[in-house]
C-alpha cells in the first residue's frame, strides 16, 4: 500500500512514518517549517512543500491509497497572533488535501486536536466542541470539511522523543537546575499521551 503523510517530518508524523515504512511505501509532504529532515526515516520519500500548494499536494498524493493528514500550524500563541496564516494552513490546506484525496479515491485519516473541546476537562468524544483558540477553531472547521468516510482523531498533548512543550521545559529545567516554574495555581489538569500509545 502507498501512503501519504502530510507533516511527516514533524514530531508525531515522523514517529508515524517510522512505523508505516516497515510495511508500506510512504511519501511525506512537509515544508520543514517545524519538522526536520533528520527526523525523517530514510525509507520514506520526502516532497518538500506545503498543503497550501495544490500542485504539491497533487504530486505527493499520486498513486496513494491512504493519507494521514497531520500538517498544521499547531502553535496556539501564533494562532492568535496570525489567525490568517493559521486559517490558510489548517483550513485551506486541509481542504486541498481532502478534495484531492477524494478525487483520487484515497482514504483520509485526519489528525485534529482536543483543542476543539475548549476548557472542559475531562472531555468525552461526544462533548459539544467549544474551542477557545484560533487553533482549536481552525481544527474544528477542518473537521467539517472531511470527506465522507474519513476518520478523525482528536489528539490531546502528545509527548515523547522529538517533542516540545511544557513536559520538555520541565525536563530541561530539572536537567539544568534552573528551577521548574508552574504558572497559575498549580491545580490545573492536562492530559498527556505518549506517542507510542497512539
Q: pTM for the whole thing?
A: 0.86
| Enzyme catalytic residues | 135
Q: Assess whether pLDDT exceeds 90 at residue 29.
A: yes
Give dist(CA 192, CA 85) in Å, integer: 27
Report the pLDDT averaged over residues 11-31: 96
CB 21 within 8 A of CB 44: yes
pLDDT band at 194 (very low <50, low <70, confident <90, very high): low
Report pLDDT digits (tens) over 111-154.
Answer: 999 899 988 777 778 889 999 999 999 999 999 999 999 999 99
Give dist(CA 7, CA 182) in Å, integer: 31
Report the pLDDT averaged over residues 49-61: 98
Q: What's the CATH number for 2-162+192-197?
A: 3.40.50.720
Report the pLDDT averaged over residues 182-193: 71
pLDDT band at 189 (very low <50, low <70, confident <90, very high): low
Query: What residue ranges do the domains of the chain occupy?
Result: 2-162+192-197
Question: Angle CA(48)–CA(157)–CA(95) in degrees, nearest 5?
Answer: 45
Amino acid at each position: 500500500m502507498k501512503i501519504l503523510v502530510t507533516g511527516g517530518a514533524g514530531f508525531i508524523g515522523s514517529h508515524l512514518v517510522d512505523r508505516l515504512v516497515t510495511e508500506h511505501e510512504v511519501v511525506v509532504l512537509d515544508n520543514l517549517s517545524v519538522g526536520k529532515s533528520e527526523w525523517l526515516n530514510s525509507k520514506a520519500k520526502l516532497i518538500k512543500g506545503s498543503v497550501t500548494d495544490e500542485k504539491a499536494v497533487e504530486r505527493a498524493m499520486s498513486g496513494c491509497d491512504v493519507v494521514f493528514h497531520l500538517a498544521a500550524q499547531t502553535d496556539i500563541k501564533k494562532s492568535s497572533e496570525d489567525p490568517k496564516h493559521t486559517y490558510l494552513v489548517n483550513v485551506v490546506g486541509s481542504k486541498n488535501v481532502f478534495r484531492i484525496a477524494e478525487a483520487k479515491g484515497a482514504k483520509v485519516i485526519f489528525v485534529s486536536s482536543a483543542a476543539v473541546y475548549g476548557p472542559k476537562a475531562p472531555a468525552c468524544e461526544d462533548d459539544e466542541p467549544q474551542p477557545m483558540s484560533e487553533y482549536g477553531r481552525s481544527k474544528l472547521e477542518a473537521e467539517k470539511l472531511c470527506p465522507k468516510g474519513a476518520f478523525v482523531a482528536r489528539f490531546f498533548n502528545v509527548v515523547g522523543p522529538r517533542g516540545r512543550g511544557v513536559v520538555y521545559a520541565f525536563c530541561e529545567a530539572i536537567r539544568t537546575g534552573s528551577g521548574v516554574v508552574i504558572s497559575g495555581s498549580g491545580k490545573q489538569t492536562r492530559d498527556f499521551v505518549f506517542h507510542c500509545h497512539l
